[in-house]
């Protein structure tokens, strides 16, 4: 019996959308719908189930009110698709233009051999509108990426076919690696295109763009003592053990040689040197520093949260309609002793934030729509969020 005619243990969406006859690109279509149907689902409060799992379990249709406030960048969705198929034969991946038409629901039956539904059939536009920030990127509202999807509801033939075609055995996806994956259509890296817009200094590379902006100075520590430097200045008598009272800053009016710089650093105990762009940053606490950018219809914020645990169970970021952002989390740095690889280290310095629970809050410049908020807490310790502007009278 052909695998397409075998009965499923569960009435999965894959069995419902199976094509009537096999075409040359049926494997392409199978992989496309398998990925979109199992790795993505509606972002409903209290659950995280894919489209196919909801169909298999016979769950009722959901309403707009049940959806939570979030969205996924189309560019991230594209990268995830190509990342999952990174080990597959290139002939099994669809071209980027085809993928984008599929996501928008613009594929014509006459131009495609696929008899599967389109993305907008799985994620209807009335529940998951697609829109583009005028100065940023295209997004899909109220869908969630599932990095380690359940597969119990799929029959073994479907699972084995996906493993065979994709070349992967583990369904877990490293989201950070997927977001950085660049080989979209098998022809190398995507070219960068610089565009102009009405935003303040926007550089856009395809769908990815970053707002460049300047912020008021924050957390600046006033120097306690400044010591002028000159070429003939001695580093000090080795027998002088008297310490400077409190914190101190060394000011260098001219650029020292590499040897002089090494001698200065060597004279410190538990000290360190910064050069280049790192030396132009703000002095003082680094956790909680915030930059805010503004576009015509949205706000972008970035908060520095080094040493903060990224576990979803212990980290949250909420945005109110009035623009207030509230963050709760747990820091895991600043210990007196650190155990690592069967070794125990006694910390000589403890400059990082001490361990424990914390909260941070800041205010965006204006009203926002919390239902159109997307955030990402990266491995670099930077929390980045984009939220659409709101209007008076919005719920």
Q: Please give the span between the terminal C-alpha atoms of the chain, in angstroms, as a whole number.
A: 55
Position 243 scores a pLDDT of 66
Stronger pLDDT, 114 or 66, i.e. the higher one: 66
Q: What does the pLDDT look like over 23-54, one tens digit per residue?
A: 447 888 889 999 999 999 999 987 789 999 99
Same domain, 132 and 38: yes
Does residue 191 lie in a domain region?
no
The answer to whether residues 168 and 308 belong to one domain is no
> Is the same domain home to 23 and 122?
yes
In a domain, 2, yes or no: no
Tell whether 84 and 125 lie within a shared domain: yes
pLDDT(61) > 50:
yes
**CA neighbor of 385 nearest in space, from 357, 364, 358:** 364
Q: What is the mean pLDDT of residues 154-165?
A: 91
Beta bridge partners of 344: 339
Q: Is residue 1 part of a domain?
A: no
Banded pLDDT at 283 (limits 50, 70, 90): low
The answer on 370 and 226 residing in a single domain is: no
Percent of the chain whose predicted confidence (pLDDT) is above 90: 19
Domain count, the chain: 3
Question: 228 or 370: which carries more pLDDT confidence?
Answer: 370
Q: Are residues 371 and 268 in the same domain?
A: no
Q: Is residue 113 part of a domain?
A: yes
What DSSP state is assigned to residue 64?
G
Angle at 356 between CA 353 and CA 359, to 5 degrees: 85
Whether 334 and 311 share a structural domain: yes
Q: In terms of C-beta density within 10 A (0-12 exposed, 13-18 middle, 19 or more buried), how is residue 138 classed?
A: middle
Burial classification of residue 395, based on how many CB atoms lie within 10 Å of its CB (0-12 exposed, 13-18 middle, 19 or more buried) = exposed
Q: Is the pTM of this model over 0.75?
A: no
Kindly state whether residue 265 falls inside one of the protein's structural domains.
Answer: yes
* 254 and 355 together in one domain: no
Question: What pLDDT sits at residue 196?
Answer: 39
Q: Which residues are CB-neighbours of 354 under 8 A, at least 6 positions away?
A: 331, 333, 334
**pLDDT at site 353:** 76
- CA 112-100-150 angle, to 5 degrees, is 90
User: Residues 75-90: what's their mean pLDDT?
Assistant: 91
Cα separation, 106 vs 114, whole angstroms = 13
- Give the pLDDT of residue 394: 58
Last residue in a domain, options 122, 151, 179: 179
- In this structure, what CATH number is given to the domain that contains residue 308? 2.60.40.790
CA pseudo-torsion sign 388, 389, 393, 395:
positive
Tell me, yes or no, whether 235 and 130 share the same domain: no
What are the pLDDT digits (tens) for 126-156? 999 998 765 667 889 899 999 999 888 888 8
Assess whether 139 and 18 both reside in one domain.
yes
* Three state DSSP letters for 229-240: CCCCCCCCCCCC
Q: Exposed, middle or buried, 76 (CB in 10 Å: 0-12/13-18/19+)? A: buried
Rounding to the nearest 10 degrees, give the CA dihedral for residues 151, 154, 158, 163.
Answer: 10
Residue-range definition of the domain harbouring residue 335: 285-389
Output the six-digit token pair for 108: 């014509």
Name 375's Cβ contacts closer than 8 Å, sequence gap at least 6: 317, 383, 384, 385, 386
Is 206 domain-assigned? no
In this predicted structure, what is the pLDDT of residue 19? 39
Each residue's pLDDT tens digit, 210-235: 333 333 333 333 333 333 333 444 44
**Cβ neighbours of residue 156 under 8 Å, at least 6 residues apart?**
none
Asked if residue 360 and residue 293 are part of one domain, the reply reads yes
Decide if 7 is inside a domain. Answer: no
Distances (CA, A) of 227 to 230, 233, 252, 278, 394: 10, 11, 8, 21, 56
Residue at a domain's end among 256, 281, 306: 281
Cβ(371)–Cβ(66) below 8 Å: no
| 202 within a domain of the structure (yes/no) | no
Clarify whether residues 271 and 290 are in a common domain.
Answer: no
Residue the block writes with tokens 């940023």? 136
**DSSP tag of 151:** -
């Amino acid at each position: 019996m052909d695998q397409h005619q075998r009965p499923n243990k569960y009435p999965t969406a894959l069995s419902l959308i199976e094509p009537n006859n096999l075409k040359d690109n049926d494997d392409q279509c199978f992989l496309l719908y398998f990925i979109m149907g199992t790795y993505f689902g509606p972002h409903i409060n209290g659950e995280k189930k894919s489209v196919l799992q909801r169909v298999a379990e016979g769950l009722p249709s959901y309403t707009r009110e049940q959806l939570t406030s979030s969205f996924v960048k189309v560019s991230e969705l594209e990268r995830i698709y190509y990342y999952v198929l990174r080990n597959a034969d290139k002939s099994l991946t669809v071209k980027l233009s085809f993928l984008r038409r599929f996501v928008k629901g613009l594929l014509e039956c006459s131009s495609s051999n696929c008899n599967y539904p389109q993305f907008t059939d799985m994620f209807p536009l009335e529940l998951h509108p697609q829109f583009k920030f005028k100065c940023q990127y295209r997004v899909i509202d109220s869908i969630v990426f599932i990095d380690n999807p359940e597969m119990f509801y799929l029959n073994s033939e479907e699972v084995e076919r996906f493993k065979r075609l994709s070349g992967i055995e583990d369904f877990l996806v490293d989201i950070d690696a997927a977001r950085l994956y660049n080989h979209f259509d098998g022809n190398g890296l995507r070219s960068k295109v610089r565009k102009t817009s009405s935003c303040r200094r926007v550089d856009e590379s395809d769908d990815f763009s970053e707002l460049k902006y300047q912020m008021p100075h924050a957390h600046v520590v006033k120097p306690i003592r400044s010591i002028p430097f000159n070429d003939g200045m001695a580093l000090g008598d080795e027998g002088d053990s008297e310490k400077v009272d409190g914190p101190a800053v060394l000011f260098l009016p001219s650029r020292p040689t590499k040897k002089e710089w090494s001698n200065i650093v060597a004279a410190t105990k538990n000290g360190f040197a910064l050069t280049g762009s790192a030396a132009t940053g703000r002095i003082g606490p680094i956790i909680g520093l915030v930059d805010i950018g503004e576009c015509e219809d949205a706000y972008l914020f970035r908060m520095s949260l080094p040493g903060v645990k990224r576990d979803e169970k212990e980290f949250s970021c909420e945005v109110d309609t009035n623009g207030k952002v509230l963050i709760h989390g747990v820091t895991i740095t600043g210990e007196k002793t650190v155990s690592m690889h069967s070794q125990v280290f006694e910390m000589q310095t403890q400059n990082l934030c001490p361990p424990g629970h914390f909260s941070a809050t800041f205010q965006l410049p204006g009203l926002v729509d919390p239902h159109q908020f997307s955030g990402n807490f990266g491995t670099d310790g930077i929390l980045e969020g984009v939220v659409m502007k709101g209007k008076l009278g919005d719920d």
